[in-house]
Amino acid sequence: MDFSQRVFCGEVKTDDAGRDILLAGWVDAYRDHGGLLFIHLRDRSGIIQIVFSPDVAGENFCRQAAALRAEFCIAVQGEVRRRLSGTENPNIETGEIEIFVKKLNVLGESDPLPFAISDKAMVAGSASAGEDNVAEDLRLQYRYLDIRRPVMQNNLLLRHRIFLTVREFLSSRGFVEVETPCLTMSTPEGARDYLVPSRVHEQKFYALPQSPQLFKQLLMIGGMERYFQLARCFRDEDLRPNRQPEFTQLDIEASFIDEEFLYDLIEDLTCRMFSIGGITLKRPFARMTYREAMDTTGSDRPDLRFGLRFVEVTDLFSQTKYAIFRQILQRGGCIKGINIKGQSEKLSKNVLQNEYAKEIAPSFGAKGMTWMRAEEGRLESNIVQFFSEAELNGLKKRFNVEDGDVLIMVADPSYQIVVSALGQLRLHLANRLGLISAGSFYPVWVTEFPLFEATDEGGVTSSHHPFTAPDRVDFDPKNVEDLLQLRSRAYDLVVNGEELGGGSIRINNRDLQRKIFAALGLTEEETKEKFGFFLRAFDFGAPPHGGLALGMDRTVSMILQTSSIREVIAFPKNRSAACPLTGAPSSVKREQLAELGLLNPGGENTLPGDAHQENLLDRISWVSRIGATAEERKTLEQALVQADKLAILARENAGLDDPLCTVTPVANRMREGAKEKRSIFAEKGQLLKSAPAVKGSYFKVNAVLE
């Protein structure tokens, strides 16, 4: 079959009427009209109706066509005809024409499908299959079928277009795409590493990169100046709904730049990417410091599509007689609230008291929630009588209260609890009251993060990663209080409450980098062991540099407004980080583990590389790649003792000092007086004649004999 003449289904036009064309694709749906058979033929470009009529196709092809079923892969040759008036199908782009088939070739038959693929109705006016409710694991198990669905194909095509835009735009701005290794050393991004054992270097491991952070900085030191990469990253994190253990990051780094350079670059790029999904973003993007974001939305990923910002009211109650507030303030606490403008009709006393104050707020960690409704110029609630006129007037003024408004307040000795509970209430209310308009996008840069977070052990850990520049350098690495005051030159890009990415201006001074490691509690030795190679690079003129990374699965998913990031990844893992298609992760053969030096010789929780090296029995198990159960070990130990005795005896009898045999670490020794000489059988090529597998002058042996 000559496919060079093939025409794409979606590209046939009414003007083609009268032409003979060749089409190839899959049977999307079929309808048998007794004598006439109609088929929707689908390829990547779209769907077209093909008709088998005995007058045109002949008996033979019609008989063959009657056996066609959904998802058979076929090629047909036929004539393009305009449909009869009244039989056009507006559900498909090519609904005004159809192909009268003259020849049919079945290229691949299909089993009955595990789920429906077609989503286009064949008859004008009838309902299409629409969104089906196939279990996601089944879709992932048959992902190649799922990908045949036009909506999935469209997702992958648009993802491709977005990636193309990224590449074109960044190249035009002088950025060079450079690949960095996947088999590498651990990169600290706060997650666990995926480890890859090395067969060649027994008991040594590579780590898959959590990000190309160290390499991109080294590229800057290497003078590449502007780098980007659509990089695959791997993070072994606890399962979360919109996370994947491997994901794609747009990784960027540039030298001799500052924050403003990056904001400008990324805003431009983000607008271009979103426009592929038909979304226009307004520039410049909003900016908010971390402090402001926490103070007014309770989140470092503020959703700014709606108001409901927090208002600080602690000071209004400094003299309060209301016992609950008074006690909280005496303990150094704070009070914040939200004015839910004009919503008192939707938020009745009952809803506020019995749902929000009693159930919802406590489920978000608040010990309670105070509410008030504004009616006829007054604030009403079950507790207003406990507040002074001055306090109530203060509230009215601070919140800009008008009739129909609802105030909610959370008070707690802990600032964290107040902002976190109020932040969750804010989102809950926005959803409940329908305050988030669909299709609106609100990007914001969040800046000035704390450089460190406190650990439970009384130390600090990096909020981003340890290469982020602090806002000042005069800190004492041992003074935790001081360290927690430091701000970083980091920034996150947040859209609609989701973090699309983030980065920072980096440290480019060796001593400062050392000081940060010291603050993190790393000793000189540890620093050297983990980052010695990296720090060494700073000895050779490191330029000022900075960058960021955007999570591309998330970004594409947001642009295409899909229900999860898995919809924009060809072969994602499911929610339990497994792949229903391939069965990964799967167990491996013991032989494979042995080859990698990972067999557990003692059958206990020891890994090769530690205790077994000292223990003779473990050593033998290890050398021979045989695991022994606790029961077997006893017998083997007795046998060893016995063997040892025999060996000593034999040695004494023979008058030798050296042991006769050894299973302890092996070394090559030549017999004294022996000379290297090639056997004549080797010369004649007979030596390895009956060996099972030969390579050069060597033959392969089982791992056990290595």
Give me the residues that bind ligand ASP (CB under 6 A), please.
189, 211, 213, 502-504, 547-549
Residue 547 or 572: which CB sits closer to ligand ASP? 547
Min dist. Cβ of residue 556 to ligand ASP (A): 17
Instruction: Give the whole-angstrom CA distance, residue 217 versus residue 224.
Output: 10
Min dist. Cβ of residue 551 to ligand ASP (A): 8
Which residues on adjacent β-strands are paired with residue 695?
698
Helices (H), 434-582: 480-485, 510-519, 524-537, 552-560
Min dist. Cβ of residue 257 to ligand ASP (A): 13
Instruction: Give the whole-angstrom CA distance, residue 470 versus residue 169.
Output: 30
Min dist. Cβ of residue 473 to ligand ASP (A): 19
Number of neighbouring beta carbons within 10 Å of residue 576: 8
Min dist. Cβ of residue 255 to ligand ASP (A): 14
Tokens representing 386 are 């406990």
Give the 3-state secondary structure of residue 184. strand
Residue 216 or 396: which CB sits closer to ligand ASP? 216
Q: Are 599 and 623 in contact (CB under 8 A)?
A: no
DSSP per-residue string spanning 233-295: EE-B----TT--SEEEEEEEEEES--HHHHHHHHHHHHHHHHHHTT-PPPSSPEEEEHHHHHH
Residue 211 or 299: which CB sits closer to ligand ASP? 211
Min dist. Cβ of residue 170 to ligand ASP (A): 14
Long-range CB contacts for residues 231-235, cutoff 8 Å, separation at least 24: 231/179, 231/180, 231/549, 232/182, 233/209, 234/193, 234/194, 234/208, 234/209, 234/210, 235/189, 235/191, 235/192, 235/194, 235/210
Min dist. Cβ of residue 251 to ligand ASP (A): 6
Residue 248 or 424: which CB sits closer to ligand ASP? 248
Residue 83 or 216: which CB sits closer to ligand ASP? 216
Q: Are 371 and 350 in contact (CB under 8 A)?
A: no
Instruction: Give the whole-angstrom CA distance, residue 685 versus residue 691.
Output: 12
Residue 78 or 502: which CB sits closer to ligand ASP? 502
Residue 220 or 328: which CB sits closer to ligand ASP? 220
Q: How far is CA 396 from CA 87, 293, 309, 378, 410, in A?
A: 66, 24, 16, 9, 16
Q: Are 618 and 637 in contact (CB under 8 A)?
A: no
Min dist. Cβ of residue 496 to ligand ASP (A): 19
Residue 192 or 378: which CB sits closer to ligand ASP? 192
Min dist. Cβ of residue 214 to ligand ASP (A): 9
Residue 374 or 495: which CB sits closer to ligand ASP? 495
| Residue 564 DSSP code | S
